[in-house]
């Protein structure tokens, strides 16, 4: 793994109970960051990959600092309370990983309006609410890093995934625009596509990489300042067209 030192940094990871979120949370902790993990529930999960409590226990078992904060980040008050607790208990907020997401399937003609609204709430609204909640602390510090987890679906058409593709395209445009808005405050913002990863979201597709494969590039991105901001990058290109070489 590329040498990254995040000692003294505080990171928030959404969707940290399992899969990509858990892998990134553990990777950040190994790099020295104190990690605030969040998910809707502390001790339960609709998936098969674990719980938020287990993620934080793994961080502690490895000698790291972890804080589990269950929250509904599709609610602006939930996002604000999460950021407030991170700042109050750990003193600062340096990194935000907007990882939580949903992956609904269905043709537009068959897509229930309430399912659309629920998808937008998680994939688009929550990253906005979280960024809105952490930016005051980052602006006060004069530094920060926001990484939004996107998907290759944002750039291509996938049958029965029009909704998901739309939400990720919106997230990428949000990332690019926010990067310019907060560059002068010392805050880097990037969007990153992890590629096909074997997680609950895609029924643990056997063609997918293990969640651990995403860690090196994600942690590298989380350590960047505004010399690397406003980008949409793919994990598969790490060390080839961007990042460590």
Active site residues: 164
Task: Spell out the residues 6+ positions from residue 63 whose beta carbon is closer than 8 angstroms to its own.
Answer: none
Element (H, E) at 19: helix 19-30
Residue 153 structure tokens: 């679906």
Of 235, 199, 241, nearest to 219 by C-alpha is 235
Closest to 14 measured CA to CA, from 58, 69, 61? 69
User: Radius of gyration (Cα) for the chain, nearest Å?
Assistant: 17
Distance (Å, whole) CA 16 – CA 168: 19
DSSP 125-179: IHHHHHHHHHHHHHHHHT-EEEEEE--GGGGS--TT-HHHHHHHHHHHHHHHHHH
Tracing tokens 């993620």 back to the chain, one arrives at 55
Distance (Å, rounded) from C-alpha 18 to C-alpha 146?
Answer: 20
Residue showing tokens 């109970």: 17
**d(C-alpha 136, C-alpha 9), whole Å:** 16
């Amino acid at each position: 793994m590329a040498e990254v030192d995040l000692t003294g940094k505080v990171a928030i990871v959404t969707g940290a109970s399992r899969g990509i979120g858990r892998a990134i949370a553990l990777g950040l902790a190994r790099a020295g960051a104190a990690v605030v993990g969040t998910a809707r529930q502390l001790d339960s999960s609709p998936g098969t990959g674990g719980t938020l409590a287990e993620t934080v226990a793994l961080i502690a078992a490895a000698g790291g600092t972890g804080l589990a904060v269950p929250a509904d980040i599709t609610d602006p008050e939930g996002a604000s309370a999460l950021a407030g607790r991170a700042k109050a208990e750990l003193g600062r907020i340096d990194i935000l990983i907007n990882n939580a997401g949903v992956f609904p399937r269905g043709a537009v003609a068959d897509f229930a309006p309430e399912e659309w609204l629920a998808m937008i709430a998680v994939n688009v609204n929550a990253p906005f609410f979280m960024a809105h909640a952490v930016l005051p602390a980052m602006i006060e510090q004069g530094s920060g890093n926001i990484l939004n987890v996107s998907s290759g679906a944002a750039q291509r058409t996938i049958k029965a995934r029009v909704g998901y593709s739309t939400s990720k395209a919106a997230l990428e445009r949000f990332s690019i625009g926010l990067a310019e808005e907060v560059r002068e405050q010392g805050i880097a913002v990037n969007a990153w596509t992890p590629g096909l990863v074997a997680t609950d979201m895609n029924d643990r597709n056997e063609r997918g990489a293990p969640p651990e494969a995403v860690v090196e590039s994600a942690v590298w991105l989380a350590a960047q300042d505004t010399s690397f901001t406003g980008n949409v990058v793919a994990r598969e290109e790490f060390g080839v067209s961007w990042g460590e070489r």
